[in-house]
Amino acid sequence: MGTTKIFRHRDYELQCSANASDNGRFTPALVVCKQVWPTRPREIAVPRGNHATADLAIDAAHAQGIEWTTNYG
């Protein structure tokens, strides 16, 4: 089961989530969606790293989302 938090940054919505892996750790996932046209959601690669808690994995996804919107948004 995964945990998801949604953040807003500039004109983007960052859907940051953490999925439990078999070893009891968490892997981050990120979907970025622009809030103005075109609003096509994009799944952004996040370094997988095994995080001890869901919050740490979500923080890693959030940091990647901020970096992505700064460089490509």
Q: Look up tokens 């439990």; give the residue.
A: 20
- The DSSP string of 27-57 is EEEEEEEESSSS---EEE------BSSHHHH
Strand order in the sheet with 12-20: 2-9, 12-20, 26-34, 42-44
Token reading at 15: 């859907």
pLDDT tens for 51-67 read 999 999 999 999 999 99
pLDDT tens for 9-50 read 999 999 999 999 888 899 999 999 999 888 889 999 998 888
Q: Domain residues for 22? A: 2-72
How many domains does the chain fold into?
Answer: 1
With bands split at pLDDT 50, 70 and 90, how would you rate the model's confidence at 1?
low
Beta-ladder partners of 34: 12
pTM of the model: 0.90
Q: Whole-angstrom Cα distance, residue 35 to residue 25?
A: 32
pLDDT at 55: 96
The domain that holds 13 is classified in CATH as 3.30.160
